[in-house]
Structure 1
Amino acid sequence: MAVRMAHIQLPEDLGIEDAILPGDPARVDRVAALLEQPEELMFNREYKSVRGLWKGRPVLIISTGMGGPSTAIAVEELARTGVRQMIRIGSCGALTPTLDLGDLVLVCGAVRDDGTSAGYLPAEYPAVPDLDLLNACRTAAQRQQAPYQIGIARSHDCMYRDDNPALYETWSRRGVIASDMETATMLVVGRLRGVRCASILNVVAGFHKNVAESVGRYQNGEQAAAAGEHLEICTALDALDVFHQGSSRA
């Protein structure tokens, strides 16, 4: 009998190599609606999982919850089930005025301002995506005609930190374009475990806007941010197709 992972509760012989990782369990259902033959597998703690087919290939959709610790657990356990490609689809705050609500950020590197990745490796170790998977995300975003930028994100642990406005200004001046809570952890842990990872973020808070309030409006159906979520879902699924087409030609 196959061993099940302690937290995501999926078996080690799952047999699926591609996974889409939203943070919010509710977003799993919105991705699953686009799949053929969707089947809910488990819902334990923050980890809700559905498998289905995308253009004939099996794909797993699994939520990671909020922040680095739960994301690291998901990546670790997914790697043990045989997943080899992971794309995060999350929300972010803009750190540049050139990003609008609903725009996508394709992360080419992440500032490791989180505690979880620091628990794995020193700060000198970079948090970078797999280049082939990032390029597939870019091609897919172009196919979807999605407004996007490729840039650096800052991953952090404190949504309500008192000095957040000053921190956002500082990182913006350093060329960082977005802020989230999970990307750096996923990229570091995935790289360590031999998994190809990429991160697509949907802008739900504009630059100089209150991030917590903006996220709340997004949850209540802010039109532009909701449209951005749909675009990031389609982009991530299409990116897996682009990636495998490229791999077959290599």
Structure 2
Amino acid sequence: MKEAHLLCQAEEIAENVLLPGDPERVLRVASELSQVKEIAFNREFRTITGNYKGMPLTVTSTGIGGCSMGIAVEELANCGAKNLIRIGSCGALQPELKLGELIIVTAAVREDGLSKTYVKTEYPAVSDFELSNCLKTKAEDLGFDFSLGICRSHESFYIDHNQEVIDYWKQKNVLASDMETAALFTLANLRKLRAASILNVVVNDSQDSSAGINSYVEEDEVIMAGESREIKLALEALLAWQQ
């Protein structure tokens, strides 16, 4: 039986899954794969399955925010997904982070709405250590600049410019803000899945988030190069993970 939102079923989904937010990023991942088949494209959820150097791989877009991430994770888990890597974007909170730099997220501040509906706020949103360590090792092998640390997942993009909130988490050594990683990590741990997250910096510390995002919308060359690196890193890390 097909899942209600992703419109996929078990035999169509690989154990290894990449989770971009943007449906268009699914197509950019597809260009790196062979034997690609589009499974479904419903609402924000575009799903393809293909092969990367012989490794079966599914890519599903999750849209924006924790609630749609939650739907994607639950339905993919129902279909047999085991290892999930988010390939997303973020706004930097620390001044040393440059546009196009990658962040391998170790844990996330749970300011999203979704995770609070599953478990008490004391429950941590943490990545799978082994999968994240595989990303770290592969990033070093590939010579990619990256940072390792905590992100903050928030609920509403257009209040993220609230300087008091940003300054608070900046002082706590949180590297960046996104909207989905906390939901992914929380659900993955509850459902006994492995999850990791790579974020591409698309807004730096000196930019207002709503204004700075225009560089990403306009496909700024540096930012798009960062996206290409995070896709390559996720693919190569999963391949190494299987060997």
What count of residue pairs does the alignment treat as equivalent? 243
CA distance in 2, matches of 1:42, 1:170: 41
Contact 2:17 2:81 (C-alpha < 8 Å) held by counterparts: yes
Of stretches 178-187 and 206-215 in structure 1, the one that deviates more from structure 2 is: 206-215
* Aligned partner of residue 9 in structure 1, secondary structure: coil
Of stretches 215-224 and 44-53 in structure 1, the one that deviates more from structure 2 is: 215-224
CA displacement, residues 56-83 of structure 1 (integer Å, 9 cap, x when unaligned): 0100011000000000000000000000
Summarize the alignment of residues 218-229 of structure 1 with structure 2, pairs less than 5 Å apart. 218-229=216-227
Match of 2:24 in 1: 26
CA distance in 1, matches of 2:65, 2:242: 29
User: Please, which runs of 5 or more residues in structure 1 have no aligned partner?
Assistant: 246-250
Match of 2:93 in 1: 95
Match of 1:110 in 2: 108
Per-residue deviation, 1:163: 5.9
TM superposition score normalised by structure 1: 0.95
Of the three residues 34, 37, 40, the one matched with 2:38 is 40
Contact 2:50 2:56 (C-alpha < 8 Å) held by counterparts: yes
CA distance in 2, matches of 1:35, 1:165: 41
Q: Which amino acid aligns with 1:201?
A: L
Per-residue deviation, 1:15: 5.0
CA displacement, residues 135-161 of structure 1 (integer Å, 9 cap, x when unaligned): 111112122221100000000011111
Contact 1:87 1:236 (C-alpha < 8 Å) held by counterparts: yes
Instruction: Give 4+ residue runs of structure 1 displaced > 3 Å after superposition.
Output: none
Q: CA, structure 1 residues 86+137, in 2 after alignment: closer, same or farther (shift >3 Å)?
A: same
Per-residue deviation, 1:162: 7.2
Of stretches 87-96 and 140-149 in structure 1, the one that deviates more from structure 2 is: 140-149
Contact 1:38 1:51 (C-alpha < 8 Å) held by counterparts: yes
CA displacement, residues 205-228 of structure 1 (integer Å, 9 cap, x when unaligned): 001311122222212111111100
Contact 2:135 2:233 (C-alpha < 8 Å) held by counterparts: yes
Of the three residues 196, 202, 205, the one matched with 1:204 is 202
Q: CA, structure 1 residues 206+163, in 2 after alignment: closer, same or farther (shift >3 Å)?
A: closer
Match of 1:243 in 2: 241
Summarize the alignment of residues 77-88 of structure 1 with structure 2, pairs less than 5 Å apart. 77-88=75-86
Q: Which amino acid aligns with 2:53?
A: K
Of the three residues 8, 11, 15, the one matched with 1:10 is 8
Q: Which amino acid aligns with 1:85?
A: N
Contact 1:144 1:234 (C-alpha < 8 Å) held by counterparts: no
Q: Which amino acid aligns with 2:236?
A: D
Q: CA, structure 1 residues 7+203, in 2 after alignment: closer, same or farther (shift >3 Å)?
A: same
Match of 2:130 in 1: 132
Contact 2:63 2:69 (C-alpha < 8 Å) held by counterparts: yes
Match of 1:71 in 2: 69
Summarize the alignment of residues 153-192 of structure 1 with structure 2, pairs less than 5 Å apart. 153-161=151-159, 164-192=162-190
* Aligned partner of residue 176 in structure 1, secondary structure: coil
Q: CA, structure 1 residues 14+41, in 2 after alignment: closer, same or farther (shift >3 Å)?
A: closer
Q: Which amino acid aligns with 1:24?
A: D
Contact 1:5 1:12 (C-alpha < 8 Å) held by counterparts: no
Contact 2:161 2:208 (C-alpha < 8 Å) held by counterparts: no
